[in-house]
A and B are shown apart, each in its own frame.
Chain A
Amino acid sequence: MNAAPEVPQAERRALEIDRVSKFYGHFPALREIQLGIAAGSTVALLGRNGAGKTTLLRILAGLSKPSEGSVRINGADVRKEGTRRCIGVLGHGISLYDELSAAENLTLFAKLYGLAEPEERALGWLERVGLERVRDGLVREFSRGMRQRLAVARAFLHDPDVLLFDEPFTALDDRAIAVLQQLLNDAHARGRTIVMSTHQLREALALATHVALIQRGQLVYTGMRSQEMLDDPGYLYRTYGDN
């Protein structure tokens, strides 16, 4: 398989990344990234530290603007209110308030997403991630694993069409990994589009339908995830990366 400009298409494109570059001063964090991601795909965004994965995910999530190029999600600008409604983001931080309870955190985001019956929705998700018994506990009193599960619930709370996850498996305990894998599998089965950057190659490749490899801000490989990659997760780096 050679470096290709696009992930192979099934039908409708959920994400279109058109010649996106990002410069911090004169430093090019991303250089002319061109990528189309079909609806329903699960894309593992791979690359070494500093390759530009987080920068690309932040641009996809509308948290940063590209210096050049554009990003469209479901055909619309990423900063449009309607577009943001259909994106679920899980970044490096848990994005939860330590001084609020688990239920208060999820209810807040349910309200910001304009969901009906926000309290019920929050409680439903607390049950799904196994935190219903600590619903009124403050997040600052939670263990790391509990905080991560709550963060996962926040990202899935509004049943988004497109999930953008930055290192979702990092620092998760076994239970949180199991919860996340189950939710990602469910989301994929329901036709959601998932883009996740990760260093945990085995977990990511087990879930992915497609793979994109970024190296020093450039996309050097995109394609279907192959059996070869599953058997030998280091294959991609050895073949297309600079080691």
Chain B
Amino acid sequence: MGQFFNATLAIAAKDLRSEFRTKEALNASLAFSIVILVLFSFAFDPSSEQIAEFSGGLLWMVYAFAGALVLNRSFAREIHNDCLDALLASPAPPAALYLGKAGANFLLLLVVELISLPVFGLFYGVRWTRQLGWLLVILALGSWALTVIGTIFSALTVNLRLRELMLPTLVYPMMIPALMAAMTLTTDLLAGTAITGDNLTWVRLLVAFDVIFTALAVAFVDTVLVG
């Protein structure tokens, strides 16, 4: 178990170090999310009632598309110099490789989200700190859902010529339940509504989605990577 944990940490640290040195995915993802948020802000009146209704949807659409830019790089990084072969030939369990990569992707996604959230608040006139604790929990749960699905499909599509196209095509349909939950909850939280009663069902759905797809990804990652 200790070796599993060490391998997971080593892979996550390696991916984060590589990314913070090159900033390839991070810069692209941040630029994309901020540009989209700014451009959309010109299309709507910031004082309009509409904003309260679509804020969660807009935010999660931006996060999902920006996330694809991070996730696409995840296993693509391993193809250069045949690094994936060395990882798979090592005794590190494929599940540890997967969780290490997923952990790094999750942190990168959170960085993008936490930087673009104040930008969203500024351009749309939304007070996003009213339910900050729950908002951070939902961001974390939704981001893990995106990460867990995106990382396994990044592994699956890594050798495809059109992987940049294939990854979103495969990930978004799978993400529909988690995105619906995250969008609904985020819209409520930005409107200042507390998480109670009906909303808790969406939270449970998000948690269940995360747990089920994490377990499935960990169980099948060896088959995905080696065949």
Contact of A100 among B6, B11, B14, B92 (CB under 8 A): B14
Interfacial chain B residues near A58, Cβ < 8 Å: 85
Contact A112 B82 (CB under 8 A): no
- Name the contact of B17 in the complex, choosing from A65, A81, A104, A111 (C-beta under 8 A): A104
Pairwise interchain contact A64-B227, C-beta atoms closer than 8 A: yes
Total A-B residue pairs with C-beta atoms closer than 8 Å? 82
Chain B residues, Cβ within 8 Å of A62: 88-89, 226
Cβ contact within 8 Å between A92 and B93: no
Size of interface on A: residues with Cβ below 8 Å to B: 31
Q: Is A114 an interface residue (CB 8 A)?
A: yes
- CA–CA, A97 and B92, complex, Å: 17
* A33 and B15 alpha carbons, distance in the complex (Å): 38
Residues of B within 8 Å of A63, CB to CB, are: 85, 88-89, 226
Tell yes or no: A95 within 8 A of B by CB: yes
Q: B82's contact among A65, A84, A92, A114, by CB below 8 Å, is which?
A: A92
CB-based nearest B residue for A87: B89
Most buried by A among B6, B7, B83: B83
User: For the complex, what is the distance from the CA of A95 to the CA of B227, rounded to whole Å?
Assistant: 20
Check if A82 sits within 8 Å of B91, measured CB to CB: yes
Interface on A for B, CB 8 Å cutoff?
Answer: 58, 61-65, 79, 81-82, 84-85, 87, 89, 91-100, 104, 108-109, 111-114, 154
Answer whether residue B22 sits at the interface, using C-beta atoms and an 8 A cutoff: yes
Whether the Cβ atoms of B22 and A89 lie closer than 8 Å is no
Chain B residues within 8 Å of A91, by CB: 82, 85-86
In the complex the two chains form, is B18's CB within 8 Å of A97's CB? yes
Q: Which of B6, B17, B18, B83 lies in contact with A114, CB distance below 8 A?
A: B6
B90 touches A109 (CB 8 A): yes
B3: interface (CB < 8 Å): yes
Q: Which residues of B contact A95 (CB under 8 A)?
A: 81-83, 85-86
B82's closest neighbor in chain A, by CB?
A93
Contact of A65 among B81, B86, B92, B226 (CB under 8 A): B226
